[in-house]
Chain A
C-alpha cells in the first residue's frame, strides 16, 4: 500500500517562494505506470489540480499556475517537490500530493497524502 506524506513550512511570506516535498513510501516513484501530482484546496473552495511529473522528468501543469510552478523529482529519495513562486494570500491552501494513474487516458488519483496547510502571510 503506497503512502504519501507532504512536508515543508506552514507559513510563507508574500512574494516569496513556497517549497513542499512529498515522500513516497510502500512503492517506487520510478514506476512508469504513474504520474505524481500536486493538488490544493483554498479555504472554502474546491480542489485545484496544480500539475504532475513522471519519474523520467516530464511535467504537465495547470495553465492557471504554469508561469509560477515547477514540479521536480528525486528518484534516489523517492520524493517529488513543488515550487510555487511569487506567492500571495490567494495561495493560502491545503496542499496535497497524490499518485495519478498513467495508463491510457486514465488520470484519476488512487492514493493521496493527508495534506499540509500553507498560509501566506507577513
Chain B
C-alpha cells in the first residue's frame, strides 16, 4: 500500500502568513489522485482539494494544491483565524486508500 508522509508535523504561523504543507508518497500516485482535508476538533473533516489541485465546492481561493507523482503541496496563501486546524492528505490512486498522519497548523 502507498504510505503518505506529511511534513511538518506541526506548523506554527500567524494570521496573514503563508502556509506550505507537504505530502510525500512512498510510490507514485496515479493520475494525481490526491485529496486534502481540513479537520477541526469535534467537527466533520472538510474536503478542500481533490485531483491534487482542484478546489472543492465552496473552498476559498486562498487554498491551493499542487504536485504530482510522489510530491504534493497544500498552500494557504494568507492565513485566516479559522484556518488553524489539522490538515490531512489522502491518496485514492490505488487501493487500499491511505491517509497521511496529518499536519497541525497552530497559531504562533
Interface residues of A (CB under 8 A from B): 4, 45-49, 60, 62-64, 96, 98, 101, 105-115
Contacts and interface: CB of A to CB of B under 8 A. Distances in A.
Interface of B: 30-31, 33, 35, 37, 42-47, 50-51, 56, 88, 90, 92-93, 95-102
B20 to A, nearest CB: 20
Contacts of B98: 49
Contacts, number: 60
Given A46-B101, A47-B99, A112-B44, A107 B33 contact: yes
A64 to B, nearest CB: 7
Nearest to A52: B97
A73 B98 CA distance: 23
Given A105-B92, A107-B92, A109-B35, A48 B99 contact: yes
A46 B51 CA distance: 21
Contacts of B99: 46-49
